């Protein structure tokens, strides 16, 4: 059971990393912004530097711990993930969210992740590794589903 959970988490993590669209070179380009389009880099930067970082660290701490998990470290990282989720909800909707239905789906995914992270935080306080694992797996599934639903084509700067 634990191996299946670890493999599942690794697959989710890989899909998250691939889903965020890693740049193909070391050069950085700034996309053109319009008055109606939010700063395209805000959500991407938050995802790369905070959301993915916290999630990846949690996967490592929960599924790859040698011996007893470090619940203090898990708690600290869970708090950082909570802050990242709250920050996502404060941002303008990404440009791909163009209808009221899409807006609601986007908010629902983020609210689901927030609730699952609250469960992870509570389970961590109880030192309930099974519940922590379940919550973290659900968070990864929600990330993956949201990224799939709102897949944005990342164009090469040369185009």
Range 2-21+39-149 classified under CATH 3.50.7.10: no
pLDDT digits (tens, 9 = 90+) for 101-151: 998 998 999 999 999 999 999 999 999 999 999 999 999 999 989 888 887
Q: What predicted TM-score, i.e. pTM, was given to this entire model?
A: 0.68
**pLDDT for residue 150:** 80
**pLDDT for residue 40:** 53
Is residue 151 within 8 Å of 24, Cβ to Cβ? no
Please provide the DSSP assignment of 26-74 as one string.
Answer: S---PPP--TTS--HHHHHHHIIIIIHHHHHHHHHHHHS-SSS--HHHH
Domain boundaries, the chain: 2-21+39-149
DSSP assigned state of 158: T
Token digits of residue 112: 């689901």
CA Rg, the chain, in Å?
A: 17
Nearest to 154 by CA among 67, 41, 26: 41
In the structure, what pLDDT confidence band is assigned to residue 83 with cuts at 50, 70 and 90?
very high
Q: Quick one: average pLDDT of 64-93?
A: 92
DSSP assigned state of 156: P
Token digits of residue 87: 């920050």
């Amino acid at each position: 059971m634990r191996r299946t959970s670890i493999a599942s988490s690794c697959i989710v993590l890989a899909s998250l990393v691939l889903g965020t669209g890693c740049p193909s070179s070391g050069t950085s380009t700034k996309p053109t912004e319009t008055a109606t389009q939010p700063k395209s880099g805000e959500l991407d930067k938050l995802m790369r530097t905070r959301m993915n970082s916290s999630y990846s660290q949690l996967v490592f701490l929960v599924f790859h711990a040698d011996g007893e998990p470090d619940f203090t470290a898990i708690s600290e990282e869970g708090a950082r993930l909570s802050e990242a989720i709250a920050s996502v909800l404060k941002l303008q909707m990404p440009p791909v969210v163009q209808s009221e239905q899409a807006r609601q789906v986007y908010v629902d995914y983020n609210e689901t992740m927030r609730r699952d992270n609250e469960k992870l935080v509570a389970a961590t306080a109880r030192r309930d590794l099974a519940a922590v694992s379940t919550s973290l797996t659900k968070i990864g599934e929600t990330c993956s589903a949201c990224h799939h639903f709102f897949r944005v084509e990342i164009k090469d700067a040369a185009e």
